[in-house]
């Protein structure tokens, strides 16, 4: 039965294919701009320089200083570079860190953005910005940070190392998972979410063994686009709140944190979201949503414990305190004891416990 719902399509132009980065100059012109500041991380500075030829006279400078969690001090440095370059638009080339910096600049300047993703992060499809100030990460949702145009070029993802392909892809899956039990979910986004999970979960194991497999690369990027659309269209819940808390507080790598926490957050919410769990199990081809996600992460040979990516054991209690400071919607009530246990399991890399979920549901 279809219930009453609201669906709002976001105004983003998307160009998807192979070799589509060649159209960067035309997309900048379509934005009505003529001087683009290119953003990258330090590791992708060379790729940013290659955009000089594609943009021609529209290339006004390169800022290769993007970093994870979008610290405000980096944004301030980029603002200075933007003014020095006399730029009238922003071109962000890279993953979620670079896209986040572009959004932070757009929020402060009102300039249009062209995003060219090289990972499966999905941030390019959302009106969401997460910024970190003094070790605390906060998020806003505003159309002021929504990119005007996105170029998806499958060829740009071929160089992604297998481990980064895996964690970036599971990070994308997390967007779709939470969209299935979002408070403002709707049938359109639920269809995209289930297909995004199905497409990515089938492509990622192939990419671990065959990183140059173009069919799998195309499916993965397409799935990431679907999952990004989900993130942009509906609200998120426990998983994203918790990952922002952990990442911002302990400076943990974004995609790896999402990858580790996701099965545990799903296990926590499973008793309160049976329809979402059914969709996830269909998409994964697994008998249980949380167990299936844990097995996917294990098959991808990436870290399964927060202890492996730099979180201190002393942080379990502190993270639980922060996570429950500000009440937020979640399909299952958020309790400190429950979140503390969730974080402890994720810290140790333990398998989500189906037995404990059954007891909690009783």
Domain positions in the chain: 13-157, 162-361
Contacts for 352 with CB less than 8 Å, ≥ 6 apart? 263, 264, 266, 267, 290, 291, 294, 345
- In this structure, how many other beta carbons lie within 10 angstroms of the beta carbon of residue 286? 17
Query: Given the structure tokens 């359109």, which residue do they identify?
Result: 188
Q: What is the pLDDT of residue 355?
A: 43
Q: What is the pLDDT of residue 354?
A: 61
Angle at 231 between CA 200 and CA 229, to 5 degrees: 70
Domain 13-157 class in CATH: alpha beta
Q: What is the pLDDT of residue 293?
A: 98
13-157 and 162-361 in the same fold: no
Contacts for 341 with CB less than 8 Å, ≥ 6 apart? none
Per-residue pLDDT of the chain (362 residues; tens, 9 = 90+): 667 888 888 899 999 999 999 999 999 999 999 999 999 999 999 999 999 999 999 999 999 999 988 999 999 999 999 999 999 999 999 998 999 999 999 999 999 999 999 999 899 999 999 898 887 778 888 999 999 999 999 999 999 999 999 999 999 999 999 999 999 999 999 999 999 999 999 999 999 999 999 999 999 999 999 999 999 999 999 999 999 889 888 989 989 999 999 999 999 999 999 999 999 999 999 999 999 999 999 999 999 999 999 999 999 999 999 988 877 899 999 999 999 999 999 999 999 976 444 344 43
Q: What is the pLDDT of residue 65?
A: 96
C-alpha closest to that of 221 among 307, 296, 122: 122
Which value, to the nearest 10 degrees, does the dihedral of the CA atoms of residues 191, 194, 200, 205 take?
Answer: -150
Query: Helices 187-209 and 274-284, interaxial angle, to 10°?
Result: 40
Q: What is the pLDDT of residue 68?
A: 86
pTM over the 0.85 mark = yes
Decide which of 2.60.40.420, 3.40.50.300, 3.40.50.1100, 1.20.1090.10 is the CATH code for 162-361: 1.20.1090.10
3-state SS, residue 116: strand
Alpha helices in the chain (DSSP H): 24-30, 45-55, 72-85, 96-109, 162-180, 187-209, 214-233, 238-250, 254-269, 274-284, 289-299, 315-323, 336-348, 354-361
Q: What is the pLDDT of residue 133?
A: 87
3-state SS, residue 24: helix
């Amino acid at each position: 039965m279809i219930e009453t719902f609201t669906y709002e399509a976001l105004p983003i132009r998307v160009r998807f294919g192979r070799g589509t980065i060649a159209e960067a100059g035309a997309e900048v012109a379509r934005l009505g701009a003529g001087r683009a500041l290119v953003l990258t991380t330090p590791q992708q500075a060379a790729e940013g320089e290659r955009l000089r030829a594609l943009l021609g006279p529209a290339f006004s400078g390169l800022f290769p200083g993007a970093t994870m969690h979008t610290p405000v001090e980096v944004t301030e440095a980029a603002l200075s570079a933007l003014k020095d370059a006399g730029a009238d638009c922003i071109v962000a080339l890279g993953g979620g860190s670079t896209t986040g910096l572009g959004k932070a600049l757009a929020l402060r300047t009102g300039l249009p953005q062209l995003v060219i993703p090289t990972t499966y992060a999905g941030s390019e499809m959302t009106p969401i910005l997460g910024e970190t100030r003094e070790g605390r990460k906060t998020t806003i949702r505003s159309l002021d940070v929504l990119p005007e145009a996105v170029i998806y070029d499958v060829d740009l993802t071929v160089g992604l190392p297998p481990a980064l392909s895996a964690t970036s892809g599971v990070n994308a899956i997390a967007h779709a998972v939470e969209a299935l039990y979002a408070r403002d979910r709707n049938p359109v986004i639920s269809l995209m979410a289930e297909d995004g999970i199905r497409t990515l979960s089938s492509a990622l194991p192939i990419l671990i063994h065959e990183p140059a497999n173009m069919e799998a690369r195309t499916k993965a990027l397409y799935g990431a686009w679907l999952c990004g659309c989900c993130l942009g269209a509906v609200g998120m819940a426990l998983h994203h709140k918790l990952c922002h808390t952990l990442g911002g507080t302990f400076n943990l790598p974004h995609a790896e944190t999402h990858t580790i926490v996701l099965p545990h957050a799903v296990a926590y919410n499973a008793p309160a979201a049976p329809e979402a769990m059914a969709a996830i199990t269909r998409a994964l081809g697994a008998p249980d949503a949380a167990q299936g996600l844990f097995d996917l992460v294990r098959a991808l040979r990436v870290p399964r414990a927060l202890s492996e990516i730099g979180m201190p054991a002393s942080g379990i209690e502190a993270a639980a305190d922060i996570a429950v400071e500000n009440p937020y919607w979640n399909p299952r009530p958020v309790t400190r004891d429950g979140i503390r246990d969730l974080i402890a399991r994720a810290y140790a890399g333990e398998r989500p416990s189906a037995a404990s979920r059954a007891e909690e549901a009783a």
